[in-house]
Amino acid sequence: MLNSFIHFRDLDLENLDLYHYENDEQISMVSIKLDQLKQNLLDSITCTVFLPSQLFGFQYFENSSGFKSDELKANVIIEIEDSIISDISALNFFYDSSLNMATWIDKNLLQRINEEFNLLNGDFIFLPEHLLLENGNPNILFDQYGFCISYGDGSGFSGEYSSFKQFHSSMVTNKFPVDKINCFSTNDDILIPEIFREINTVKDLKQFHLDFCQSEQSFELNFFKRVFSFDYFKSQMHITHRDIKLIAVFSLVIFMAPLLTNSLLKSYSNTYTDETIRIFKQ
Query: Residues 91-121: pLDDT tens digits?
Result: 888 888 888 888 999 999 999 999 999 999 8
Q: Which residues, at least 6 apart from 263, have a Cβ–Cβ distance to it below 8 Å?
A: none
In the predicted model, is pLDDT for residue 273 greater than 70? no
CB 17 within 8 A of CB 33: no
CB 202 within 8 A of CB 184: yes
Phi-psi region of 118 (alpha: psi -120 to 50; beta: other; left: phi over 0): alpha
CB 62 within 8 A of CB 75: no
Mean pLDDT of 232-243: 52
Query: Model's pTM, two decimal places?
Result: 0.79
Query: Residues 205-233: pLDDT tens digits?
Result: 999 999 998 886 777 889 999 986 554 55
DSSP H or E stretch at residue 139: strand 139-143
Q: What is the Cα–Cα distance from 151 to 229, expressed in whole angstroms?
A: 38
Q: What is the Cα–Cα distance from 68 to 62, expressed in whole angstroms?
A: 13
Phi/psi at 212 (nearest 5 deg)?
Answer: -65, -45
Mean pLDDT of 125-129: 96
Average pLDDT, the chain: 85
CA torsion 259-262-265-271 (nearest 10°) is -80
In the predicted model, is pLDDT for residue 240 greater than 60? no
Give residue 145's pLDDT. Answer: 93
Q: What is the Cα–Cα distance from 5 to 20, expressed in whole angstroms?
A: 7
Q: What is the Cα–Cα distance from 11 to 8, expressed in whole angstroms?
A: 8
Q: What is the Cα–Cα distance from 132 to 154, expressed in whole angstroms?
A: 11
CB 61 within 8 A of CB 74: no
Query: Residues 144-182: pLDDT tens digits?
Result: 999 999 999 999 999 999 999 999 999 999 999 999 999
Reduced to 3 states, what is the DSSP secondary structure of residue 85? coil
Q: How many helices (H) and strands (E) does the chain have?
A: 6, 13
